[in-house]
Structure 1
Amino acid sequence: MLNRFTSDYLLLLRVIASHVVVAGHAASYFGIMSFSQWPNSPYFQSSAVIVFFFLSGFTIAWLCDCRRKDSGYSYQNFLFDRACRIFIPLIPVLILYAVLEYFFYRSIRHPYPYSYNLETFIANVFLLLPQPFSNAPFGTNRPLWSVAQEWWLYIFYGLLALSISKTHRYVKWGLLGLFCLSISFTVLDIAGRGKDLGIIWFIGAGTWLLTKNTVSKKIPSYALAGAATLTTLLIFVHSLWPEDGTYSVAWNLTITAPLVFTTLLASRLKTTLIPKVATGTIEYMSQYSYTLYLSHYPLMEFIYRTGYFKDSPWLGFFAVTLGSLVLALSLASVFEFRYKQYRNFLWTRIAGFTRSPVTTESR
């Protein structure tokens, strides 16, 4: 199990990363906070996505490891849980922007007309975005590619860590087919056909395994602290920055290395990181972070295209940031906050297809 300090640390990283993505995109649109944008530095928003992939790999490896000890928890349970976590907030956002973009861009030219169609919408519903498929993110919601990559990594890793419990033959073959499809996504991403983030995801998963490893526990804490400090300083080495300010193998690893060492160090600490008075607020912010990531970009794109705040960039920055938060909270209150309720309801409707009981996730 995770100790409290590690849990707090990862939670805080998740909250910070999700809000940095929003602030980074807003800064990019309105040309402010140049220190956070290329070429003055790699894009802060892209670096935050690298953090997301590390956290995702760590969390899924931890989840599978813990659930594997539970009686009756299987690959189909895992996939159902993950599908509900991903798609219950995702599909409403896709539908909402399918409608809104129709009205948004009646008088303004759509910036991505080739991706605003029924075929692309359906491809996004099933997250068929990375290689070997060539489908674009739907409409103006460009960050959806990263959600698709994580989804296929879930499918791939889940079967490596868990087994398919006794079930109907066609369900078993369907799960195996889905896993086989995920292999191509995973291999191509790790081979560099994506944005080299699959490597980071598996480093995150490996970090969870290292926290339990008796050999890694023998490394002195001061050595971990020193390694974390040195690898953090590497972030300022310009030769390691990606050519376009987004992603590269070297830069992805540069961002990830201090995360590995600090997480290992955090696993040894017997205290808390987040003050008790702030715990509720941080946990609340983490609960809408996924919806915030899903919904902010099209809103910013539209406001930018209309020319609003052209002469008041800082006002525009705060307007789109606040607007994104309000929209995310509105959507999350209906979907992300309640996804476990919807999951349990759906499970009761399809329980006949599998014989494994649903479990309640802690995440």
Structure 2
Amino acid sequence: MNDYIVSSLGEFWQAAGESCWPGCRGALVRVSAMTSGLRHQMSYFDAVRGLSAQLVVLGHAAVLAFPVLFAVRGTDGRLGARPDQFHVQSYGVVIFLVLSGYLITMSVQRRRRDPAYGFRAYLVDRWARIFTPLLPAMVAVVLIDRLVFSGGATSRFIVLRHDLTTVVSNLLMLQDNAVLRQAAAATGQPLAARSLGSAAPWWTVALEWWIYVGFGVVALVLLHRPTTARGLLALPALVFAAATVLGTVEGGSGLMLAWLVGFAYAWWAPAMQAIPRSVHAGLTLLTVLWLWWCFDVVHLGVYAPTVCVLTGVAVVSGFHMLDWSAVLGPVRRPVAFVSEFSYSLYLVHFSVMIWLVHLVEGRVTGPELYVLLVAAGNGAGLLWWWSFERHFGRVRNALRPLVTRRSSPRPQRSPVL
């Protein structure tokens, strides 16, 4: 998942210097002045983002390397994570969504006052951030899946799907879509598709995309220079995005709540900053203890609504409770480095692990396989970031003139004589 599971720290601070906090009354207060302390605290989000990505990698490696301990056979005959256990890979997705809700909302809040920034520019930004590494990853997954599992070979852990419906669905971010799943059940037509090939975790990328679309419509169309025509044009996208996201609730998932908690902290950021650090510290401690009770005593699932809400509060109040620039300052560069390639890591690590398990299983011990999977997953993620993801800014800049309209110059006032 995530951004998060795609976040955009660079865009966040670039935008922060261009606009004012919305909601400020009286004299306008420049964002750069209000956030001078926060600017140096962003290492906290880098650390949390990098940690959550590593949790996903470590958890998936554990299931694949030690299936006797962490996996169970499902109805399709494949091995998957045991539902009665706490799995760090799933919890990493929850954290990703919290970060996404907070950071994307903060970025949009700071840029809404720019007349040149609207829904189109926002969607181009999000598309470039997500698809720049995703499109080549789709090609690689199809080609290498077919190479590794040639001759009718299968995986013990996943069902490989490379049919046209699956490819198109993944291109359109419609894999594992709740709306299409309901439509398929009602019509009997093969409308629902799963993630492409060995890239099983990509369902969270699609969920994130539709959250972005729905949020963008609300924040940049309905609440930002709204008109009846704009609202009517955006309504179908909003309805589909909302139905897609809310459809995840049917299975008891509270993932959307994790994103909404991050959103709430960002939307009302000035009020949150005004709360004393001691209160945020107490709130963080309380939610951590509550989470322990949820997991150890009540045995709630990782995606349970209560868990998702508490995680959101713990993560963002945790940001406000300390001067993280002092705590993380000495390790700021390595923390930022690990965070930088976390999205690429999320995209490619699982496929690389599936390929390796198929190729070397039985030739190495469980611990050896575990180390190999973690190392290979991180290496592949770093390579994918260097080859593709780090160029997303160029893709965005190339697309913007094609999609967005130039803003009309503001009329100059006539001099008062």
Aligning the two structures, in what range does the TM-score lie when normalised by the shorter sequence? 0.7 to 0.9
The Cα shift of 1:251 comes to 2.5
2:91 to 18, 30, 47: 47
SS at match of 1:200: helix
Cα-to-partner distance string for 1:137-177 (whole Å, 9 max, x where unaligned): 111211111111111000111122113899xxx99976553
- What is the letter of the counterpart of residue 320 of structure 2? L
User: 2:217, 2:234 within 8 Å by CA — same for their partners in 1?
Assistant: no
The CA deviation at 1:85 is 0.5
Change (3 A) 1:346 1:219: closer
2:398 pairs with 1:354: no
Deviation at 1:263, TM superposition (A): 2.7
Give the counterpart letter for 1:354 in structure 2.
R
- Among 387, 390, 396, the residue aligned to 1:337: 390
Query: Runs of 5+ in structure 2 lacking a partner?
Result: 1-30, 71-80, 182-192, 409-417
Aligned in 2, Cα 1:92/1:173: closer, same or farther, shift over 3 Å? farther
CA 1:41–1:229: 2 relative to 1, 3 Å: farther
Q: 2:154 aligns with which of 109, 134, 149?
A: 109
- Work out whether residues 162 and 196 of structure 2, in 8 Å CA contact, stay in contact via their aligned partners in 1: yes
Deviations 1:52-92 (A, max 9, x none): 00000001110110111223111110011001101111111
Alignment-derived partner of residue 360 in structure 1 = none
Shift in CA distance, 155/173, structure 1 to aligned 2, threshold 3 Å: same
In 1, Cα distance between equivalents of 2:278 and 2:343: 35
CA drift at 1:328 = 1.7
- Where do residues 1-363 of structure 1 align in structure 2 (5 Å cutoff)? 1=31, 2=35, 3-31=38-66, 42-107=86-151, 108-110=153-155, 112-113=158-159, 115-129=161-175, 130-134=177-181, 135-163=193-221, 175-189=234-248, 191-193=249-251, 195-213=253-271, 216-217=272-273, 219-237=275-293, 238-243=296-301, 246-266=302-322, 269=323, 271-276=325-330, 278-308=331-361, 311-348=364-401, 350-351=402-403, 354-356=405-407
Aligned residues: 344
CA distance in 2, matches of 1:28, 1:356: 52
Distance 1:317 1:113, change over 3 A: closer
Q: Is the 8 A contact 1:5 1:273 kept in 2?
A: no
Question: Cα 1:258–1:218, aligned 2, differ >3 Å: closer, same or farther?
Answer: same
Structure 1: gaps of 5 or more residues: 358-363
The change in CA–CA distance for 1:320 and 1:151 in structure 2 (over 3 A counts) is same
Higher-RCO chain (CA-CA 8 Å, sequence separation at least 6): 1
CA RMSD of aligned residues (A): 3.0
CA contact (8 A) 1:143 1:297 kept: yes
1:329 CA displacement:
2.0
Rg larger in 1 or in 2? 2
Q: Counterparts of 1:356 and 1:24 in 2: how far apart (Å)?
A: 48
Overall identity of the aligned pairs, in %: 23
Moved more, 283-292 or 43-52: 283-292
CA distance in 1: counterparts of 2:371 and 2:267, whole angstroms: 41
8 Å contact from structure 2 (residues 159, 197) kept in 1 = yes
1:131 CA drift (Å): 0.8
Question: Given the two structures, how large is their TM-score scaled by the length of structure 1?
Answer: 0.84
